[in-house]
Each structure stands twice: as C-alpha cells, then as structure tokens.
C-alpha cells in the first residue's frame, strides 16, 4: 500500500513577481533605486536573461553588445531604437550610465568580459560556466574581491524554492544519511544541444570574427563555429559546461557541499558526427569527501538520447531511510531500515535452525497486531506554484543584492566550485584518466 500527500510550495515575493502590477511598481521605484542594465552577448541565454531582468521593477535596458550585426538590429526591434548597440563591449563598460552587466557570451569570453566589467565598477551577472578553463577561476575571484562589486553566476537552482525545500528536508533527516546521488540530464534535441540556427546573412561582413577568436586559436572564418560554438573546445565547454554545472550547483546547494575530490568521465561523439570535438554523450562518477555528517557520495551524470523526450533532468538523493527526488518538484519516499536483518537457515540442521530461531526471536520479537501496523507507507510531494520560474527568481536575487549590497549565494567561489568538476569531466574524458580536485583550495591536485 502507498499514499501520496501533496503540498504546494509558497513562492516568496522575490521569486514570483506579478506582471499585472509591473507598471504600478515601476512608478513606485524612486530614481535612486533605478538600475541601468547592459547585456554582453544577445544569443538565446542573453535574451532570456535580459527579459528576466527587465521584468523586475526599476530595471531598464541601456545598451547591448554583440559580435553579430543581426542581433544588434534585433535588439533595437525588441527593446527600442533608443538602445545603444556595439560590437565592442568595452564601449559599454566605459559608460557611466550603466550599473549592471549581464555577460552571456560564448564560454571562452566569460572570464575576460567579467573581469573587465568588474574593473570598470559594474555589478555582474555571468552566465555559467563562470570560466572556460580552471586557470581563469582565481583571476575572476580576485577581480570580484578587489572591486567590491556584486557578482552572481547564472545557475538558477540556488534561487529555486524547490531546491530550498529539498535542502530543508534533507537537513531535517527526511531520508536519513545520504549515501549516493544519481543525477541526469537527457538533452535529446540536436538544436538544443549543439545546432543553433545560422542566419542567411552570416558572413565576415556581419560578424566580427577577429574579435571572436582574439583570445583563442586563430582560424579562418566559420559560421558554424560562431553560432554553434558549444560543440567546439576553442569556445565552449560541451555538455559538461552547459548542463553538468547546473547539476553540481544543485548538489552543492542542497547538501552544503564544496565539491568532489575525484572526477572520472567517459563518453564520446556518438550521435551527431558533424565535425565537433566535444562529446554528445558523457557519463561521470564523482567522489565527494566526508563533510560534517555527510558520508562520501557518488554522483552520476549523463547526457544522451532517449526516445520519446527532448529534455529530461532529475536528481535522486538516496539515503539510509528513503529517497528524495527533485524533478518539477520534490518527492520524498521514506523507507525506514528494517528492524530485522532477516535470516536464511534452511541449510542448517533442524536442531540448529530451532536454536537459531529461538535466539533470533528473543532479539527480534514479532510485533503484536495493531491498526498502526496496517498504515500505508507515506510519500510526500512538494510542488511549486503554477508558472513559477527559478530563472526569474535568480535574477530577482541578483537585483536585490545589487540594491542591498549584501552577498549572493552563487558568488565567484561558488561558481568556480560548480564549474571546476564540469571542466575536469572534459579533461578526464579526453585523457581517459581520473582527475583530482581540492574544492577547499580551488586547485587541481
């Protein structure tokens, strides 16, 4: 027998904003509370990030930087002709009328653009992964500390009420002692994984290819590499940097972990053999150190093809007393340890069977029949409100931190601790060897 108790989580005012009242809210924002935004990189995530920020009262868009002329034109179509656009983000950073910057470039420009923005006195929302290589991490952290600016990395799970509930439940002992985590992300759509559409006018005349490749390997112009950069190690970090970072962020937040100490990944280019050098299938094992009362854990991640779905992601936190699942919401299935270890005595001589069972029942007496013994196992389910957006909540938390000058959860140190095991997954996959990492000192060992 089983039964499910369903609960609905209550989103905080910071997590869900009523769009119907946005106009009125805008009027109540004083000029001193207005925050002027610029976005560097107006691709899919840059556009989504910009819209999320603009849905927050008091935030207004001032400028856009993008290396493709068509996106600069699109910015004026969507946000208005008054928007300043440029291919050189340094022109944005030189402006005194910009308070915050969203960095949503290809991965290989994340650290450079972020450091430049921090040094220019801007608060920064940087898309994940925070860095393209481990070596870049310390420089970003140092720039943020030296500048004193607010910096938040864009993996929204740390702002989600779903993950906050999961954290509360595990800390309260809902599943006993966690001993293993299974996490996966099935992205089964070529367009979503690697194949962004290429506009008909893509050419060296409409794209600043020299600037795009300025800090990496020099190559002849290639529109696939520019628009489909996630599949190439020169510019992207593959499925690990795109998706694994979200899973690491979720695990580290829910379990208050700093990161794994050993990383091993395998996989390959199995489905879309199109010239990419980053795998479309990856499996990883991650050993976490004991931290407080937390035992070592293994984390398994995958990105592959499964018929019938285009995207699927979930966690199983397996504990000594049950399993907590994070999907659209949180589900807890409690399975208390059996009081009796059980027995197998059929191969013993009959007298020894009797002796064994007599001693066994003295230690584990049969429970007396009662109504309590007939109760069904309980499964608890916690669901967020309809249309709840953790992506929007993450931007709200960033804007609140900009206004209050209080630190965010997903600061550069958190961002590196989530990015590093993902980047080490790529290194492990390429080398065929396990990698070690010290999440305390932030160094590969």
Q: How far is CA 119 from CA 100, 113, 124, 146, in A?
A: 12, 10, 11, 8
Domain assignment present for 357: no
Per-residue pLDDT at 17 exceeds 50? no
Residues 303 and 429 in one domain: yes
Per-residue pLDDT tens digits for 296-329: 666 666 655 555 556 778 999 999 899 999 999 9
Record the pTM: 0.90
240 three-class SS? helix
Domain CATH number, residue 270? 3.30.360.10
Residues 38 and 80 in one domain: yes
Residues 92 and 38 in one domain: yes
Q: Considering 89, 123, 157, which residue would you say is the last residue of a domain?
A: 157
* Distance between CA atoms of residues 213 and 278, nearest Å: 18
Q: How far is CA 222 from CA 202, 204, 209, 417, 433, in A?
A: 9, 9, 8, 33, 32
Domain that holds residue 428: 161-338+373-393+412-444
* Distance between CA atoms of residues 155 and 246, nearest Å: 6
Looking from the CA of 269 toward its CB, the CA atoms found within 13 Å total 12
For the chain, what is the mean pLDDT?
89
Mean pLDDT of 436-445: 94
Domain assignment present for 401: no
Per-residue pLDDT tens digits for 151-204: 999 999 999 999 999 999 999 999 998 888 988 888 777 766 678 899 999 999
Q: How many CB atoms lie within 10 A of CB 391?
A: 17
Query: How many helical (H) and strand (E) elements, i.e. helices and strands, does the chain have?
Result: 15, 17
Mean pLDDT of 74-92: 98
Q: How many CB atoms lie within 10 A of CB 375?
A: 10
Question: What is the pLDDT, as a whole number, of residue 192?
Answer: 65
């Amino acid at each position: 027998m089983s039964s499910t108790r369903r609960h609905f989580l209550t989103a905080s005012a910071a997590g869900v904003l009523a769009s119907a009242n946005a106009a009125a809210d805008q009027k109540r924002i004083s000029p001193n509370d207005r925050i002027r935004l610029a976005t560097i990189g107006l691709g899919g995530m840059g556009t989504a990030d910009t819209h999320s920020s603009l849905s927050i009262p008091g935030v207004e868009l001032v400028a856009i930087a993008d290396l493709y002329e068509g996106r600069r034109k699109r910015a004026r179509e969507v946000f208005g002709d008054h928007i300043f656009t440029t291919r050189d983000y340094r022109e944005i950073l030189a402006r005194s009328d910009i308070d915050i910057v969203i960095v949503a470039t290809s991965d290989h420009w994340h650290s450079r653009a972020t450091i430049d923005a921090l040094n220019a006195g801007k608060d920064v929302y940087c898309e994940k992964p925070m860095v393209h290589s481990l070596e870049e991490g310390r420089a970003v952290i140092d720039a943020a500390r030296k500048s004193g600016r607010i910096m938040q990395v864009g993996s929204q799970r740390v702002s989600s009420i779903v993950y906050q509930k999961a954290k509360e439940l595990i800390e309260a002992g809902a599943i006993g002692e966690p001993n293993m985590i299974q996490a996966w992300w099935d992205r089964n759509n070529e367009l979503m994984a690697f194949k962004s559409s290429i506009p008909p006018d893509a050419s060296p005349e409409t794209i600043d290819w020299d600037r795009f490749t300025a800090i990496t390997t020099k190559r002849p112009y290639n529109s696939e590499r520019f628009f489909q950069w996630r599949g190439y190690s020169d510019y992207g970090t593959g499925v690990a940097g795109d998706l694994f970072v979200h899973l690491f962020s979720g695990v580290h937040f829910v379990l208050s972990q700093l990161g794994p100490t050993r990383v091993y990944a395998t996989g390959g280019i199995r489905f879309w053999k199109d010239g990419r050098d980053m795998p479309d299938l990856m499996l990883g094992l991650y050993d976490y150190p004991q931290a407080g009362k937390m035992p070592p854990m293994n984390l398994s991640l995958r990105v592959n093809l499964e018929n019938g779905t285009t995207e699927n992601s979930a966690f199983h936190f397996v504990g000594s007393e049950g399993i907590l699942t994070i999907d659209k919401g949180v589900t807890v299935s409690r399975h208390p340890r059996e009081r009796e270890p059980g027995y197998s005595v059929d191969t013993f001589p009959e007298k020894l069977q009797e002796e064994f069972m007599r001693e066994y029942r003295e230690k584990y007496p049969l429970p007396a029949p009662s109504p309590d013994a007939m109760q069904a196992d309980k499964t608890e389910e916690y669901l967020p409100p309809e249309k709840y957006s953790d992506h929007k909540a993450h931007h709200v938390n960033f804007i609140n931190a900009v206004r209050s000058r209080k630190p965010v959860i997903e600061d550069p140190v958190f961002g590196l601790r989530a990015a590093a095991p993902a980047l080490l997954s790529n290194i492990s996959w390429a080398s065929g060897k396990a990698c070690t990492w010290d999440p305390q000192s932030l160094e590969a060992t």
